[in-house]
Amino acid sequence: MSWLRNIRVVVDFGTTYSGFTYCHVENSKDIRTNDKWPGEVNLKTNTVLQYDSNFRNVVAWGNAALSKRPNPRIRNETRPVELFKLYLGKLNQELRPRLPAELGSDGYKKAITDYLRELGVRIKEMVEKWEGVDFTENVLFVLTVPAEYSEIDQDIMRRCAHKANLIKDKDSQRLQFTTEPEAAAIYCMESKLKEYNLLKAGTTFMIVDCGGGTVDLTTRKLNGIEPLQLGEVTERTGDFCGSTFIDRLFVEFLREKLGTSAIDLLIENHYGQLQYMVQEFCRRVKEPFTGDNVLFRYDLDIEENAPVLLQYVSKEVREIMEEDEWLIEITYHDVKYWFDYIIDRIISMIHVQLSNSINNGETCSAMFLVGGFSESKYLQKRIKQEFQKENEENEIKIIPPNQPIAAIVRGAAMYGLSLKNSSNAHRMDKLKRSVIRSRTLKFTYGIKILGKWNSQKHPPSRKVFDDKTYLFETFVKRGVEVEVDKEFPKSGYKPLNSSQKALKFELYKTTKHNATYHDEDGMELVGTLRILLPNGFNHSITFGFSFGQMEITAFAKNETNGQNFHTKFDVNEP
């Protein structure tokens, strides 16, 4: 596989900003982060699209797609499409952004695909500057995803990457995944532990990845020095409490001042003016806020930033706003409340992560703050006040890296480079151990089986026929730390007769540690495994799964002679 010998490209597809890093395996120290985008020079560009009037073709993307200051001379406004990544994960339906109906029922998938396609064009331009590089053959992509993404979310991203022409085949090994906090952990392990005298076996540290949409936590333990190896101390966790949810509170504040109907009409008919107003809020209020100046005040000029609102407000609101010259005062206490509402959730998550680590016998020595939101001075101050207690026996070092935005993509590049010189997929998985040794499972996994109905254990309604009932058979339980290449087998399964062409098993997961039935509350179908059988086969097989990798893999073999069978594991589509 020639792609294993040449280029690594890390795509950091974010809620508000995206970017990519790339390097050649022959010069692995030269990790380059792209900083040239349409209309700007920066480490990342905005995750925003502008479409034509029919919402079919992209006419601008990134920073160039942002709305500009409203101009009364320009009648034909365009509607920027943004925040579409929030449709992945388990964010409540009412908290998801409104996307133009013209994009269709799966509009977020179209937007993700279109954005990745534009990003791919830029990537191709950069990597093909190396002589002899074929974009379709010599590039291994590593796509970073939030810690909370399910197998279904990752499968959607894989399908979008395929449609965006990043990979030739949907199941191509040329696309690998790693979580954003895991990538940051690799970067900090390689670049920061030594600086703080923590580069020693047994060191435990936490990554707090604060992005635009999600905040993800993982606690890692340095299991080895030569080579460097990371294990996972407790279950990683995440939630939708990134910086965009401060923007959402700002918009709710505008609803209180101007009326819900006015803001709804603005969103529906002139979304660009809302986006511009949020941009100004971020630039003038959110980004510079430190929490130190209690006299802080900002006057938002509605006539200048969103003039169309003047025709949408009610008569009562109009009278008040005319008296205030269409200025809305934003005070220190307003901004502090918005920040604290979100930061309190982050602090609560950190407390739970620390408690879980202690319960597993580990003491956290350092906390690295990464991601765009972690650049907030007020966020840094709140976390230090809460967790960096002086004169405590086990003081935690709170460390924001020099470039918290770049920590994830550079760490993911290091992860991609650990696959160097691999010759096949099985060997490639083995090599991951040089960086990531283990992960802690967040779910209990098992399959649906037809078992024996027991009147002492199972209700009559569970009997399907004769003395049979459908049960959940566990493969591995939640909270178990598993090595990335560890396989979990089940033996003794046979086809019903020699004419059977395949075996099918449905894989389920639950947050419970113990479960009896495949359809009880909290169960979720992960996917279906199909094992193709040779003609006339009537022997026992051993099959199973590997759960320690980012994507679940399956295997099956003949128990008589050890021959491997062709398997296909299809992730369930929602």
Over pLDDT 90: what percentage of the chain? 67
469: exposed, middle or buried (C-beta count within 10 Å: 0-12, 13-18, 19+)? Answer: buried
Same domain? 132 vs 84: yes
Q: How confident is the model at residue 380 (pLDDT cuts 50, 70, 90)?
A: very high
Establish how many alpha carbons lie within 13 A of residue 445's alpha carbon, considering only the half-sphere containing its beta carbon: 27
DSSP H stretches of helix in 85-201: 107-127, 151-163, 180-191
Q: Structural domain of residue 534, as residue ranges?
A: 441-571
> Do 276 and 367 share a structural domain?
no
- Choosing from 316, 338, 360, the residue where a domain stops is 338
Q: Which residue has the higher pLDDT, 514 or 390?
A: 514
pLDDT at 513: 95
User: Using an 8 Å Cβ cutoff, are 397 and 366 in contact?
Assistant: yes
Q: Residue 391: is its pLDDT beyond 60?
A: no
Mean pLDDT lowest among 120-134, 311-325, 389-403: 389-403
Task: Inform me whether the pLDDT recorded for 53 exceeds 50.
Answer: yes
Number of helices followed by number of strands (H, E) in the chain: 12, 30
How confident is the model at residue 395, as a pLDDT? 79
Q: Are residues 309 and 449 in the same domain?
A: no
Q: Do 161 and 21 belong together in one domain?
A: yes
- 328 and 313 both lie in a single domain: yes
- 382 within 8 A of 369, measured Cβ to Cβ: no
Do 203 and 94 reside in the same domain of the chain?
no
**Phi, psi of 494, deg, nearest 5:** -130, 150
CA gyration radius, the chain: 26
DSSP-derived 3-state class of residue 518: coil
Q: Would you state the structure tokens that stand for residue 73, as one six-digit string? A: 């001379």
378 is written with which tokens?
A: 């007020």
Contacts of 70 (CB under 8 A, 6+ apart): 272, 273, 276, 304, 305, 306, 307, 308
Question: Is the per-residue pLDDT at 331 higher than 90?
Answer: yes
pLDDT, residue 495, reads 87
Does residue 1 surpass a pLDDT of 80? Answer: no
Measure the CA dihedral 255/258/263/265, to 10°: 150
Q: Do 136 and 250 fall into the same domain?
A: no
| Mean pLDDT value of segment 96-100 | 92
pLDDT band, residue 478 (cuts 50/70/90)? very high
How many domains, the chain?
Answer: 4
Nearest 5°: phi and psi at 7? Answer: -110, 140
DSSP one-letter code for 332: H
Q: CA of 455: how far to CAs of 286, 428, 466, 473, 536, in Å?
A: 62, 48, 12, 19, 37
Mean pLDDT, range 127-137, rounded to an integer: 83
Percent of the chain predicted with pLDDT > 70: 94
Are residues 416 and 392 part of one domain?
Answer: no
pLDDT at 3 over 80: no
pLDDT greater than 50 at residue 314 = yes
What is the longest distance spanned by two Cα atoms in the chain? 87
Burial of 365 (0-12, 13-18, 19+ CB in 10 A): buried
Q: Are 253 and 361 found together in one domain?
A: no
